[in-house]
């Protein structure tokens, strides 16, 4: 099969298009012919080596976390899917590889593709949708009537999280650039802050939840817009000790994680707010919940551009530029 391969960690190093063996299927997996693959900043960070301490991949490595496609083969223990099914997923860590013609996916991580969505639209959903779901529903337990601040509302996670938060009955504030103000308002944002002209710390007060996705400076400011007892969920770090337990990290790695987040956790305690780090995980059952919201018209995919498979490196560069409105997708078939 054709695949884009990373031969070794390196800042902005190009992936190489080459022929690879079709992956072997495990008993609990489904082999999916890839029709479209979402492109995420996570792919660039793994390529650059930012996660090699906690996700030590072997080279050569096929990148790509989001897939939409058609089942071509199922393992002997698979019960929910059959050949010919249209499906989508965020594939599991250490089984990534959607920048290819075929990818194996655990049955537990897979869901049927939402009716009415193209393959390209479906491929834009899994990673950002699961991130928003796990942050707002699972960790923050966002409730009707609460106030949530979602940073970078026009980005991949932001565009999904705004819609999900509105569905949950929350008042939503977000940041974006001037040109994207109409987009985030259309998605349901109640308070929109143009980060080029205003500082969100000067505008927001007494929020229940912050979904943090930016730099450490924004993280510090975010603590001050929360009420006492509020929850700050970070998807951009620093990792906390709970994450070290989650990934069953070696003792030394757990110590490093604890030290890197010690200052943030200390300041959060002093302000009476709860800090937690989220590194989203694959989940077919949660993706099925998201499918129901999409099919009901509650959440719509936001796709900026679809790149041809041969332009996967260009798609990754575009993601890194930070200019994307919503998600970028690579069309494979």
Instruction: Kindly list the domain boundaries of the chain, sorted by start residue.
Output: 2-125+301-331, 128-277
Residues whose CB falls within 8 Å of the CB of residue 255, separated by 6 or more in sequence, listed in order:
none
CATH number for the domain whose boundaries are 128-277: 3.40.50.720
Reading phi first (left if > 0) and then psi (alpha if -120 to 50, else beta), residue 169 is in left
Matching fold, domains 2-125+301-331 and 128-277: no
Q: What is the pLDDT of residues 171-216, one digit of tens each?
A: 999 999 999 999 999 999 999 999 989 999 999 999 999 999 999 9
Q: What is the pLDDT of residues 79-88, one digit of tens each?
A: 999 999 999 9
Structural tokens at position 149: 């601040």
User: What CA–CA distance (Å, rounded) separates 100 from 303?
Assistant: 20
Q: What is the pLDDT of residues 266-313, one digit of tens each?
A: 999 999 999 999 999 999 999 999 999 999 999 999 999 999 999 999
* This prediction's pTM: 0.97
Q: Please name which of 192, 212, 197, 254 lies closest in space to residue 53, comparing C-alpha atoms.
A: 254
In 3-state terms, what secondary structure has residue 303?
strand
Structural tokens at position 223: 């603590």
Task: Evaluate whether the domain defined by 2-125+301-331 bears CATH number 3.90.180.10.
Answer: yes
């Amino acid at each position: 099969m054709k695949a884009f391969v990373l031969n070794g960690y390196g800042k902005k190093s190009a992936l190489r298009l080459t022929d690879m063996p079709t992956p072997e299927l495990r008993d609990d997996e489904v082999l999916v012919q890839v029709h479209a693959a979402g492109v995420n900043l996570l792919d660039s960070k793994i390529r650059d080596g930012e996660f090699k301490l906690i996700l030590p991949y072997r080279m050569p490595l096929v990148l790509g976390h989001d897939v939409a496609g058609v089942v071509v083969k199922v393992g002997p223990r698979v019960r929910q899917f059959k050949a010919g099914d249209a499906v989508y997923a965020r594939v599991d860590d250490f089984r990534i590889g959607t920048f290819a013609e075929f990818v194996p996916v655990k049955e537990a991580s897979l869901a049927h593709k939402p009716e009415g969505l193209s393959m390209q639209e479906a491929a834009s959903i899994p990673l950002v949708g699961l991130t928003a779901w796990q942050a707002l529903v699972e960790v923050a337990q966002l409730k009707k009537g609460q106030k949530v601040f979602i940073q970078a509302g026009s980005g991949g996670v932001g565009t999904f999280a705004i819609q999900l938060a509105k569905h949950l009955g929350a008042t939503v504030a977000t940041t974006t650039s001037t040109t994207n103000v109409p987009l985030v308002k259309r998605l349901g944002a109640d308070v929109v802050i143009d980060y080029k002209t205003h500082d969100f710390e000067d505008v927001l007060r007494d929020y229940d939840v912050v979904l943090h996705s930016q730099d450490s400076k924004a993280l510090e400011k975010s603590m001050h817009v929360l009420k006492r007892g509020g929850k700050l969920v970070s998807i951009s770090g620093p990792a906390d000790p709970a994450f070290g337990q989650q990934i069953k990290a070696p003792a030394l790695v757990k110590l490093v994680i604890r030290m890197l987040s010690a200052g943030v956790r200390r300041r959060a305690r002093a302000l009476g707010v709860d800090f937690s780090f989220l590194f989203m995980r694959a989940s077919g059952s949660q993706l099925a919940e998201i499918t129901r919201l999409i099919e009901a018209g509650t959440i719509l995919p936001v796709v900026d551009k679809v790149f041809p498979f041969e332009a996967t490196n260009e798609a990754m560069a575009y993601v890194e530029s930070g200019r994307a409105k919503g998600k970028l997708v690579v069309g494979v078939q």
